[in-house]
Structures are given as C-alpha cells and as structure tokens.
Amino acid sequence: MTDTLRLTEALIRCPSITPDDAGCQSLIAARLRALGFDCETLPSGPDDFRVTNLWALRPGATPDAAVLVFAGHTDVVPTGPRDRWDSDPFTPTLRDGRLYGRGASDMKASLAAMVVACERFLRECPTPALAIGFLLTSDEEGPARDGTVVVCEWLRQRGQRLDYCIVGEPTSVQRTGDMIKNGRRGSLSGRLTVKGIQGHIAYPHLARNPIHLLAPALAELVGTRWDEGNAHFPPTSWQVSNIHGGTGAGNVIPGTVTVDFNFRFSTESTPTELQARVEAILARHGLRAGDDYDLTWTLGGLPFLTPRGPLVEAVSAAIRDVTGIEPELSTTGGTSDGRFIAQICPQVVECGPPNATIHQVNECIALDDLEALTAIYHRTLHRLAGRP
C-alpha cells in the first residue's frame, strides 16, 4: 500500500457526486496544512446546489518566487446503475492490478498523486524557490458556474499571481504520460427556435411548417467548413445535439422547432465571427431574426494554448525521466477548468492518467499509473524549482 494508493482510496470512499464534495477537500486540506499550506474554503452557489472550493498556498523561499498551482475537482459524475458495477462504486476495490471506484481516474488519483508528490518534494527541499498552490472545486462535472471560475475571479481581485498550472484531468491514452493537453478548444452553444404556424397536416396551406422552413438552412450549417484549424488545433466543428418539434400527434403541423447545437472552435475563429456566420446562413434562407426565429447563445469557454516553454518542457522532461515516453501535445477533447485558469495564468497544461474508463461503470486505474503519475508530478516540482 503506497501513500498515493491509500489517499486515492480515502477519496473514493467519499461519495462526492457533483456538487457534493463529501469531505474530500477536508482530507486534502489536512495533509496540506501539515506541509505549511494556508488553506481557505470558499463555498459558492445557491443552497440547493452548494459548491465547495479550496484554495491552498505555500509561499516560496522569496516573495518573488514563481507560483505553481495544482488544480482539479473532487466531484464525480453519478454512478449509473449500481447493479452493473462489479463492486460498490464508493468502496475502493483492488482487482488484477487495478483500483476500481467512481473517480479512480477522473480525478481522485490525480489529486492524491499531487498531494503525495508535494509531500515528497518538501521533505527533500523544505524551502524551495517555488511557491505551490492547490485550486480544487466540487463543480467541474456540473454546470461549472460556482467552482473554478469563481475562485479565479477571487484570485484576480486579490492580486494573486499564478505562473504555472497543472490540471490533473485524465489526458493519457495507453500509458500515463503518453499525452498531455497544452490547450483546449472553445465551446459555444446555441438554441435556435424557428417559428411557424400550427395546423392540421391535411391543410398545409393554412399552416406554416417550421421544420420545412429550417431544413435548407440546417443542411447548409451541417455542410459548412468553419475554418481549417492550425498547427495546434483541429478545424472548428459544429454539431447538433437535440432537435424537438411537434405535439406528439401525427396529424398536426408543429408551431415551432427547436435545435440545440454546439461549436468546438479553434483559435482561428472567434465567438462573434461564428455567431455572425450562423445568422447570415439563416438570413440567406429567408429566416429573419425575431420574426421567424429566436436564437440564444451560451459561451462555455474560450480556447487556450500554452506553447512550448518552461511548463511544457518541465512536464515533458519529467515524463521522459519517469517513463521514457516522449509525450504528445494535444488540444483535442472536451472543455476543462483549464479554460478559466488560463484567463489568469499564462501557462496551463493538463496531465493525468489514461481516460479509457472515465464516466463508465467499473471506472478504474492501474496501480502502475498511480505511481507513475506521482513520480511525474514530483519530478516536475524539482524541475520548476531549479533542481533537475
């Protein structure tokens, strides 16, 4: 039983389904306080969706020491049908060299590895030329309105400088360290409601079918090439997630049809440009804003990119030291809380274990990945502190 395994098991035993932290951050804060961290709990959100946030900081040897922040989330997604799990999702279970439990990969193992890496590093270097912070939330798997984004604004107002941030999201594919994320695409969602006139399906001349009105524009939206991407990002994608129209009756032309869609966009496009292009396509097919349709937009996050530099090189070198792997830099996948942190921190990367079982029944992590991840974070601390 290693320190990382024991702490991961303790965190899995906390049934922290979003937004409930269920005691995870208290366990972590106790370990950090013993290392000299000043820990502050920052609750946020309404009473029926109360979010727990933790900010912890251990100053460096000098006031101008660089600040490295470990960031992540203690909340997990729901378990799904418990009878489909081979063991209770909140009872950590060892089986065939793997640790099973909800959050094992996403991302309680990363949190445990971060804490244990700091413990080892500070035993070896009690007064490092590096300040170390932890930014944790229980609102990453949920709407992400009262978590990291709130803490980042609080830190900005406080004037807290951040130089480097490692987010413990599960970024690897086959082995821990084979892929790190040095950026993420932006997310822009829209809800389009096209208005028609409801009527009897046998008398279409007395009605106006909004699905028919939408269809030509929808076909163009589906076929549009929004940009070509660049060396760091794939091309922007546009996808429909839901379409709803009709009353449920087979003989009624609906009065409206609603389409939910999402852009995952590269740095080659901006939200304003994408919105304008969508509205131009609708206009080209005779649909007028307000009269024929309503369209609301939600910006989930802007794209961010950390080019090769001190943080990318330190993490990559640590991975090579520990595993012998040359990590692939990637910006693919969904959004993460890195999008909020990147607004106040110039260098943000995500580095975590394999993601093959995240959000699944029987989520698990290989014990070898637990130890490798701890060693990678430990070596990264040494490198950023100037102790390669």
Active site residues: 75, 140
Rounded to 5°, angle at Cα 355 from 322 and 339: 90
| The token pair that represents 165 in the structure block | 């941030």
d(CA 371, CA 386): 23
Residue 252 CB-half CA count within 13 A: 11
How many of the other CB atoms lie within 10 Å of CB of 155?
21
61 touches 72 (CB < 8 A) = no
314 touches 300 (CB < 8 A) = no
Count of all residues that appear for the chain in the document: 388
How many of the other CB atoms lie within 10 Å of CB of 234?
15
Distance of CA 346 to the CA centre of its chain: 18
Cα(first)–Cα(last) distance of the chain, in Å? 28
